[in-house]
Structure 1
Amino acid sequence: QLERLKRHIDEGDWITDPAVLVVRDRLAADVDRRERDYLDRQGYCATARNHTENARAAYIAKLRATVRQYAKNLKALGDLANVSVDCPTPHLENDDLSLSQAGLEVRFDFDRKGAVGLNDGEASGGQQVMKSLILLIGLLMDEARPGGFVFIDEPFAHLDVANIDRVGTFLRATRAQYLITTPVTHNANVFAPAQLTLVTRKKQPGNDWAPPIGVLQRALD
């Protein structure tokens, strides 16, 4: 057996350069260093994961509070407009599935004729305007600063006089400030909520300038 092993060593293909031992030691040291680095990075990763989970939980808690406040704002604005607004709090938990399935569902009940959702095609033009205003203004409200500032392009378009008055009454009741556009050919009731009206006209052909801006300001009682 010993003779067989000697022949195997003599006749076999082996690395005989003594420098291979240096390479072996260097590779072994490399492996040790990489294993230490890996353990260190695992610790950093665990810390980062923990911070991320805590931040996400805090964000979801803030989101929950924001949604509750928004629902409260919608209900308050609905009371001003004599519209019943229902906005259930969605299920928000710290996991991907519940967050991906969460959504905000708002339903409006006009004149106690049954609730309609956000995309209900049966709502009238005036009801659609009221829904849009309530949803928009609700975003701008908070407990410290009720109301807000809103730009609305022709909110009275295609509304009859009754709905124009209804929208105007709601605008005055919200304690918000509005910049509203409306054509001068519209019903005069559209100007009822305005404290300041600016009347503009396009430049006529052949004129160098458009006519001066007209200013109408409501006298305070």
Structure 2
Amino acid sequence: MPMNTTSSKPDYGIDAPAVLRNLFLFGGLCLALGLLLPPVVHLGPVVLNTRPTFLFPAFFLLIEGGLYLLYVKVGKFHHRDRMLAQHPWSGNEKVLDVGCGRGLLLAGAAKRIKALNGTGHATGVDIWSTEDMGGNAEAATLHNLELEGVQSICTLLSVAAQDMPFEGDSFDVVVSNLCLHNIYDRATRARALEQIVRVLKPGGVAIISDYKKTGEYANAFQAHGLKVEKQWGGMLSTFPPLTIVIARKTL
């Protein structure tokens, strides 16, 4: 998907575009087969009832595709606001977005800082994989930050979550959405979680959202002495259903 740097509205991309494409592709294929094939097809000794065989999966795939598209276009903005509402903002926070993508959470945090006329700053790190988000690129993120009017209080770094270069106790708030599960090796993922704990200031909060492995994240944070709670994402605003892990580092 080409990046449009001339757009006048921020574009936060499509999360996992291949998943969305496949839901509609296979759902549409099953629908076509269910409608176009004869009701009963004989394949040697096998009798295939095509209507239930193809129309049932078509229904589920297309419904899931529609819910996922709703999340991509609308729901993730509500989910971002829900995540950021877990912290009482003063405007002076140093914020880190791990796997910032095209900057949805990053810009959201920076806008809260700016609205409070604070001295805070937001930093985003990513490796900008186009497999995980359509049109993902550092230039696209910068463009969105410019359109949101927060580029002056934001910094972007191309660095992996497990290799963050920041000093310890650097950030008041660390956020991340749909990032850490993309680190497929568990040991490497554990290092990324350790990095989040390391750079988080005492009294700070990590707000991590994902659709899987959130129990692993919670256990890792608890093992490092953080106070952890979990919340479900909105039933209608997230698909697949997301869980928010909120981990607070004691003073």
TM-score, length of structure 2 as denominator length: 0.28
Q: Which has the higher strand share?
A: 2
Higher relative contact order, structure no. (Cα contacts within 8 Å, ≥ 6 residues apart) = 2
Q: Which has the higher helix share?
A: 1
